A and B are shown apart, each in its own frame.
Chain A
Amino acid sequence: MQLETLVVQFQQKDPKAFEKLYNMYAENICGVINTIVKNSDISQEICQDVFIKIWNNADKYNSSKGRFFTWILNIARNAAIDEVRSKSHKNSKQNLSADYFVGILEDSTNLDHKTDAIGIKKFLQDLKSTCVQIIEMLYFKGYTQKEASEELNIPIGTVKTRNRSCISQLRKNVLN
């Protein structure tokens, strides 16, 4: 079935469509949350809460505002960041600066054995560390271009082009 049709049915509160979307995206959403909270059990809990939120706010999504995945990705990031912040009581994205993917690539003893560290390494091989960082910031942590440029200490225009080439490399790795 076409994604667009599925999303429309989901917005009409069709539980069957919702289940399909859940099966399509649950692992991705939980994965994104996991890169932020770095805890398998907590990330699954938040993940469930995120899908409740998605169902309850179904009518707020509008395809002209972006991809469906982008919409739920944003909801998931915010939920995960809220969780981390409430725990640390520090109001800064600096809390998130410990990079998950970089950590996995550098540390052979993975913190969480429940994740597929080998799969992640395969996808991120040949990517420069700045690439891994920029992908993690923009897609998994919800950094703005400005925040990323400050964090990486590169010009804001470079964020866009570098991200483009990093994603191109990622795409090659995923296809192989």
Chain B
Amino acid sequence: MNIEEYISSGKLELYVAGLLSKEENEQVHKDAEQYPELKKEIEAIEASILALSKKAAPTMDKANFSSLRSRLGLSETKVITLPKQKSNWASYTGWAAAVVLSAGLFWMYNQNKELESKIEVVSQEKETLETTIENANNSLIKSQDLLNTIRDQNIAVVALGGQAVSPESFAKAYWNKEEKKVFIDAKGLPEPPDGFVYQVWSLKLNPLTPTSLGLLENFKGDENKIFALANNNESEAFGITLEPAGGSESPNLEQLYTLGVASNS
């Protein structure tokens, strides 16, 4: 297509005047879309007519459009709602982001809670373990103490044999005369029935004089069943009887479980 010829033909001027046929109008429109020079020319022609027609205008009333708007029943508020598509897109995006963010925050909050409770459980376990270790340490110390006590060279060991009431019973007394202490190993005694307690006696044989050394309290609860008692006496023998709770003034010899004589050293 020869653009220059097209332009100089005068067709575009008629196009702006609106004097072409429907088909010609459509053709020019199409051509102008395709060739920017044509569109530019059309706009320039239009601009000259616009300039001239503007000069012919009467002095315009400024409020013209508002009176037009009220005649058409167009409200101002309607104006605001119209650039909808763009702002909607932005606000949808904003809401979506807010939803995602709050979901994320909620998830993180839950994660945090879960972790906190896990930490609590773990720290409780740790405390329990520490207690166990401490207990084990304590019991180890006790056992070592016990072992050291028993191994002490001043210790006299007295074996206490089972008597008529309970022939299978046995016990041992570890007597430290220097420290005036006696340790009773009561592992070989049966558990005392409810309301009864074992009582340890120091005996003088000639004449037979029993002196209470004390009770094996909390027999069930004591794991190693070794009891430390004070002994100020020049004991010749040790005996263990079953007495009512609280102990007795003098031994009930019918309930004598074990008895052993200290060898003279």
How many pairs of A and B residues are in contact by the CB < 8 Å rule?
A: 163
- CA of A57 to CA of B264, assembled, Å: 137
Chain A CB within 10 A, most for which of B18, B48, B56: B56
Question: Is B36's CB within 8 Å of the partner chain A?
Answer: no
Choose one: A15, A26, A161, A174; the contact of B47 (CB below 8 Å).
Answer: A174
Is the pair A120, B53 in contact by a Cβ cutoff of 8 Å?
A: no
Q: Chain A residues near B78 (CB, 8 Å)? A: 15
Q: Are A69 and B26 in contact (CB under 8 A)?
A: no
Give chain A's interface secondary structure class.
Answer: helix
**Is the pair B13, A31 in contact by a Cβ cutoff of 8 Å?**
no
List A contacts of B79 (CB < 8 A): 15-16, 19
A93 to B19: give the CA distance in the assembly, Å.
Answer: 16
CB of B65 within 8 A of CB of A30, answer no
Cα(A61)–Cα(B97), bound, Å = 41
| B62 shortest CB reach to chain A, Å | 11
Q: How large is the interface on A (under 10, 10 to 19, 20 to 34, 35 or more residues)?
A: 35 or more
Is the CB of B263 closer than 8 A to any CB of chain A? no
Which residues from B are CB-within-8-Å of A73?
18, 49
Q: What's the Cα separation between A48 and B63 when bound, in Å?
A: 11
Query: Is B45 in contact with A167, judged by CB distance below 8 angstroms?
Result: yes
| A44 pairs with B61, CB closer than 8 A | yes
Bound together, the chains give a CA A27 to CA B13 distance in angstroms of: 21
| A23–B62 alpha-carbon span in the complex (Å) | 10
Contact B22–A65 (Cβ < 8 Å): yes
Q: Give, as a whole number of angstroms, the nearest-CB distance from B86 to chain A.
A: 12
B57 interfacial contact with A, CB 8 Å: yes
Question: Is there an interface contact between B58 and A65, defined as CB atoms closer than 8 Å?
Answer: no
Name the one of B17, B44, B55, B68 contacting A70, with C-beta atoms under 8 angstroms. B17
Knowing A35-B56, A120-B56, A170-B52 touch, does A67 contact B16 (C-beta < 8 A)? yes
CB interface residues, B 27-45, toward A, < 8 Å:
29-30, 42, 44-45
Report the minimum CB–CB distance from A53 to chain B (whole Å): 11
Which residues of A are found within 8 Å of B54, using beta-carbon distances? 27-28, 31
Q: Establish whether residues A66 and B10, one from each chain, have CB atoms under 8 Å apart when the complex forms.
A: no
Q: Say yes or no for B1: interface residue by CB 8 A criterion.
A: no
A15 in contact with B74 (CB, 8 Å)? yes
Complex CA distance for A73 and B26, rounded to whole angstroms? 18
